Homo-oligomer: A and B are copies of this chain.
């Protein structure tokens, strides 16, 4: 469905940037899962703008109100409605140039689709602000996954020409340490290498001070996903993760493990050799396939990278069209904008991944009533 993701764990997202409220309905959670409102607030805080020259000056507390589905700190098993009231709206900033299509934004496509009836104020439903609902719902899932042994985290792998240390794709123990380090990060950019923080911030602020913006790459790791999660064809782990990654604004590319690097490889390099440890546990010696074979988790870390385009809202004058007058025009965008959204987008991407992972785990476990644990058959004659 249009604004709903997921089959068993589903999230329906709603709201416009300058409407009364934004939010989400999370359905499919079992009853009894702890809901940690402080953790939700901490996730919302990561998504929040800070007015620090790295993100927009529209700073909102984004307090999440839980309207349903949670009681006495636990899920009740019924739909969880999460609402964030909009407060700091300044629609006036947009009114002056309402007919001028902002390049890189959804203004023109919204006209094409909604015939002028869209709520265009502040980007409306297309505003990055709408991801707040995804974060609120994703935060609940991140905790539930953690309780089930699955950890998810995202860092800014590259931004404004500066690169962070990549995730240790092949080494679950080292990766675990990296996830711990990210937990301890100061507010702002999620980075593995602290030495990178200052140069990256400077490069972002430099672009901002020129009335411009920058793009970058986010890298997300899912650690502890059990082998066997994911479906063979249309509900493959890559399909589900990519689907929701591209649902978040500004993402224009995704790659798993070696990704586009596979194009330059031979099979003998691309294949990850299987090995068995002394406990009989199977793993792969390398992890170029990012923990996924045939669309299904193999127990190694799942790692993917997304290309995030520069914020389309820039102060520099741009060529565009007056939609109503049907004339070429020049536009200088006013309002408050992020010179770079990667700092804020990292938590969004973790939450998106949590939704995909939680849905696939639920689909996987659904078959429980049909099978008996320990049932196993050796392949013969195949």
Contact = CB atoms under 8 A, between A and B. Distances in A.
A163 to B, nearest CB: 10
A299 interface: yes
Interface string A353-379: 000000001111111111100011111
Interface stretch (A54-62, A97-105, A170-178): A97-105
A295 B217 CA distance: 19
- As for how many copies of this chain the complex holds, the number is 4
B232 A20 contact: no
Nearest to A307: B260
A113 B228 contact: yes
Interface string A63-104: 001111101101111111101000000010011001101011
Interface in A185-214: 207, 212-214
Given A119-B382, A252-B258, 6 more contacts: A103-B284, A112-B297, A118-B379, A236-B247, A262-B310, A274-B320
A61 to B, nearest CB: 18
25 contacts: A2-B10, A4-B10, A4-B27, A13-B233, A20-B68, A32-B115, A77-B117, A78-B119, A104-B289, A106-B232, A108-B298, A109-B227, A125-B232, A161-B264, A215-B264, A234-B244, A238-B252, A239-B247, A242-B245, A253-B260, A268-B318, A269-B310, A270-B312, A273-B318, A364-B366
Nearest to A243: B243
Contacts of A95: 381-382
A309 B262 contact: yes
A301 interface: no
Interface stretch (A38-46, A324-332, A343-351): A324-332
